[in-house]
A and B are shown apart, each in its own frame.
Chain A
Amino acid sequence: MNPTQLSGAASTRRSHASGALQRALRHYGGIVVGLIVLCGFFWALSPNFMSVNNLVNVVMQVSIIAILGFGMTYVLLLGDIDLSVGATMALVGTVCAFALEHGASPLAAVLAAMVTGLVLGAVNGSLSALLTIPSFIVTVATMGVFRGLAYLTSNGVPISIDDDRFAFLGNGLVLGIPLPIWILAVLLLLNHFVLSRTVFGRKAYLAGGNREAALYSGIDVNRLRIMIFMISGLLASIGGVLMTSRLYSAQPNAGIGYELDAIAAAVLGGTSLSGGYGTVLGTLIGALIIGVINNGMNLLSVPYFYQLIVKGIVILVAVCIDVQTKKRHA
């Protein structure tokens, strides 16, 4: 018998284990090395970089981008894109402030925010799936609409919030660690589980890899797309709540450009823009790379204009390396 042929469950199980490790290395090896190199670089130039305080600070700063990036991972791996998440954050923030102003409890305000996020996502998803408009166009349009609504509900000025319990969400410490980091960790585990271990996640990968084949295999692709945009909206609303809480105010111009950082984080983390590949763990590492670059350059007092240029170049280089290694393995 041909040695490359597999006969029984035993050999299959063996290659499952070694296959998983190989795939993890192939998937994350490059960008983890990149992250370590970046950290080493900044550590060498600025010893403060590796202090526990600063590292916690980095994670804290990227938590919102990473949470948006998780939602973006779902959308991208389906071969879609969601450019409205930054505007969703702002609109959700004003909804929160509005609810608190009118005497809602913080819990009710957060729930209202999350429901808003789900509804906004459902709008994006339905327009893309049912009217078959490309999601790029749909979300460019709704990005404007959501942002406009945020300005309307807030009259264009920040609404300040003085509710200590609400402020705790973005600023409080639990066991000495900022609450947003806990939320980030929980969302990471939850979304990783959904994508890797559930029927829903598997459907997303299959439909992203080949929409026709998924349809022919009995997957309701339209429903799936709507649900995935709802997840993106929900995660954006959580990001919006955290930001509103941290700033003690809802700002209609909050989160401008965050959709692009979220996309960059996902793509740095190995998510394919054409669909079919992507993990939230990768996206988190991608977001950390962006955060480390921002933080390190701040520590080195690099002027902001240079920071933008450096960040852009690093993203290009990282994605180039990634594309090259994937090509070699294909």
Chain B
Amino acid sequence: MNTVLKPRPTVPLLELRGIAKSFGPVEAIKDVSFSILPGRVHTLLGENGAGKSTLMKILAGVHAPTRGEILLNGSPATFANPGESQKAGIAIIYQELSLAKNLSVAENMFAGHEPRRLGVVDFKRLYAQSQALLDDLGIDIDATAPVSRLSMAQRQLVEIAKALSRDASLVIMDEPTSSLSDREAGILFHIVTKLTAKGAAVVYISHRMDEIMRISDDISVMRDGRYIATLQKDQTTIGALIAMMVGREMSDVYPRRETPYACPAVPLLKVCHLTLPGQFEDISFQIHAGEILGFFGLIGAGRSEVMKALFGIGRPSGEITMSGKRLKLRNPAHAIREGIAFVTEDRKHEGLVLMHSIANNVTMASFEEHGSRFGILNRRFERDETANAITRMNIRASGPFQAVGNLSGGNQQKVVFSKWLALKPKVLILDEPTRGVDVGAKFEIYRVIRELASTGTAIILVSSELPEALAMSDRLVVMREKRVVHEFSAHGPTQEEVMSYATGAKTA
């Protein structure tokens, strides 16, 4: 049973009793009751749209609950605004970064409670205290550096340090590892252990089952705005949790190929010695029609940069040839005309117009070529394409005119996919297509990827989730420090082998 000798406390730090929250007619969460114990990691598990984020925003003082009460250390508490929640000792690390890029790490960490002398900020103490806290947490970042110079992963760590710059007895982390590499995730887990050792409770939200099983003590599952159950980690399994979360058994997350892949003799796309100084060096690979080519590497390995170059962003040296024809890609419009489509990593900024309807977004890349005549829009194209996308991708929405910004992450990603499918691309580049997407939507995305490959689309799958990269790819390219370090053929490698190349433990 439990090997860690951590006695389970009996007095809860925070207790939720019958919490409900409605937005207009929509009930985001209904009757949620559970307790969070001090000194433990409490994971909140649920698909996107299950109500986790809403619940956290209630604790953060962003939303007021419609019904129910919150007990903090046994006495009723209300948080009218984020300030009150902070004062009560609740710290939140949001999924979306909230740092001011133009300011230094230290200024961000202590924003709003800077050490002062005679009314002005005491920068000497500010930097000293910030650096001390960073060092204490094991984060190797210079407190005086401007945030704009940090990588996304480093920014996430600063975000965590910022939340901990105030004394917090309850720390909420909303998908903190989604942009972290394994090494940085390790630092994060270390921080979590430290916090709980000091007696603080950590509420942890993540979609990554392996890390949940690694760090959680208690796990609460939510589904469709309802509280399902709270379990102790040692008394459950990944399979049982997933079943509880999706309300059905998930036997195999990754759909297999229905027929074995017959690789054509001639490659569709060939990349030779592609180099963009500072971004990537000497990249060569090829991909065939109907093939899924995985790209694995740690954060910062240069995968996204290569993909952007294939989409006409940046002017690399080297050669790109498609079906024997040399391509000199000038811009995305040119790449799209050549049959290349790109689901970018950052769907909110590069993929979607959030304020616009599903219909507008779905036809965004195709309306000019397929949905218009003499410059005039063909409304039937838009209607059919949107209806088609909603059915095919199983997009859950109130209708084709719902604003994309109101959809859950998984459904937004399905809209991005639909946008490119409307074009029937020859090469589809997917950069982290399942990031921040719940298990149900993931499965649907995998299904569509398989379906596309079976109809002859060449797919480049950039992924930081190793099980996903291994299960979905026909071949797997591993990148490290801006270079291709190894290429694995079909059905070969174990996770350990791939990781050893990605981390540089093994070199080609």
Chain A: residues with CB nearer than 8 A to chain B? 2, 4-9, 12-13, 15-16, 19, 23, 197-200, 202-203, 205-206, 209-210, 212-220, 276-277, 330
Contacts and interface: CB of A to CB of B under 8 A. Distances in A.
A12 B386 contact: yes
Given A210-B349, A217-B336, 20 more contacts: A5-B394, A5-B397, A6-B390, A7-B391, A12-B387, A19-B399, A19-B401, A23-B401, A198-B376, A198-B377, A199-B367, A199-B375, A202-B360, A206-B353, A206-B364, A210-B354, A213-B351, A215-B331, A218-B332, A219-B333
Given A12-B387, A13-B383, A210-B354, A205 B398 contact: no
Contacts of B391: 6-8
Given A216-B350, A216-B351, A218-B336, A205 B375 contact: no
Contacts of B333: 218-220
Contact of A202 (B342, B352, B367): B367
B353 A213 contact: yes
Given A206-B353, A220-B331, A213 B364 contact: yes
A23 B372 CA distance: 23
A216 B332 contact: yes
A216 B344 contact: yes
Nearest to B353: A209
A197 B331 CA distance: 26
A5 B394 CA distance: 8
B314 interface: no
6 contacts: A4-B397, A19-B400, A213-B351, A215-B332, A216-B332, A218-B332
Interface in B346-390: 349-356, 360, 364-365, 367-368, 372, 375-377, 383-384, 386-387, 390
A94 to B, nearest CB: 34
A193 to B, nearest CB: 8
B376 A15 contact: no
A215 B394 CA distance: 27
Contacts of B353: 205-206, 209-210, 213-214, 276
Q: Which 5 A-B pairs have the closest CB atoms?
A: A209-B353, A218-B336, A218-B333, A217-B365, A12-B387
A199 B376 contact: yes
Nearest to A14: B399
A323 to B, nearest CB: 14
Contacts of B368: 199, 203, 218
A36 to B, nearest CB: 27
Given A6-B390, A206-B353, A209-B353, A199 B396 contact: no
B364 A4 contact: no
Interface residues on B, range: 35 or more
B444 to A, nearest CB: 13
Contact of A4 (B351, B367, B376, B396): B396
Contacts of A218: 332-333, 335-337, 365, 368
Contacts of A15: 399-401
Interface string B132-176: 000000000000000000000000000000000000000000000
Given A199-B368, A202-B367, A216-B351, A6 B377 contact: no
Contacts of A203: 368
Interface string B321-340: 00000000001110111000
B342 A216 contact: yes
Given A5-B390, A6-B390, A276-B355, A212 B349 contact: yes
Given A202-B360, A212-B349, A6 B332 contact: no
B383 A9 contact: yes
B419 interface: yes
A209 B356 contact: yes
Interface of B: 311, 331-333, 335-337, 342, 344, 349-356, 360, 364-365, 367-368, 372, 375-377, 383-384, 386-387, 390-391, 394, 396-401, 403, 419
A243 B375 CA distance: 32
A138 B147 CA distance: 30
Nearest to A209: B353
Contacts of B384: 9
Between B353, B360, B387, B399, the greatest number of chain A beta carbons within 10 A of the residue's beta carbon is seen for: B353
Contacts of A210: 349, 352-354
Contacts of B352: 210, 213
B63 to A, nearest CB: 15
A5 B333 CA distance: 33
A268 to B, nearest CB: 20
A102 B34 CA distance: 86
A4 B25 CA distance: 14
Contacts of B394: 5
Contact of B383 (A12, A209, A216, A330): A12
Contacts of A197: 376-377
A96 B350 CA distance: 45
A187 to B, nearest CB: 18
A12 B380 CA distance: 11
Contact of A206 (B311, B360, B400): B360
A215 B354 CA distance: 15
A12 B401 CA distance: 9
A292 B419 CA distance: 45
A104 B384 CA distance: 53
Contacts of A220: 331, 333
A329 to B, nearest CB: 10
Contacts of A212: 349-350
Contact of B400 (A7, A16, A209, A219): A16
Given A19-B399, A214-B353, A216-B350, A6 B372 contact: no
B414 to A, nearest CB: 12
B281 to A, nearest CB: 25
B372 A199 contact: yes
Contacts of A12: 383, 386-387, 390, 399-400
A206 B353 CA distance: 7
B344 to A, nearest CB: 6
Contacts of B400: 6, 12, 15-16, 19
Nearest to B333: A218
Contacts of B331: 215, 220
A330 B354 CA distance: 11
Contact of B375 (A198, A213, A217): A198
Nearest to A193: B376
Nearest to A10: B387
Nearest to A5: B396
Contacts of A2: 396
B377 A4 contact: no
A209 B351 contact: no
A7 B419 CA distance: 18
A205 B376 contact: no
A195 B265 CA distance: 48
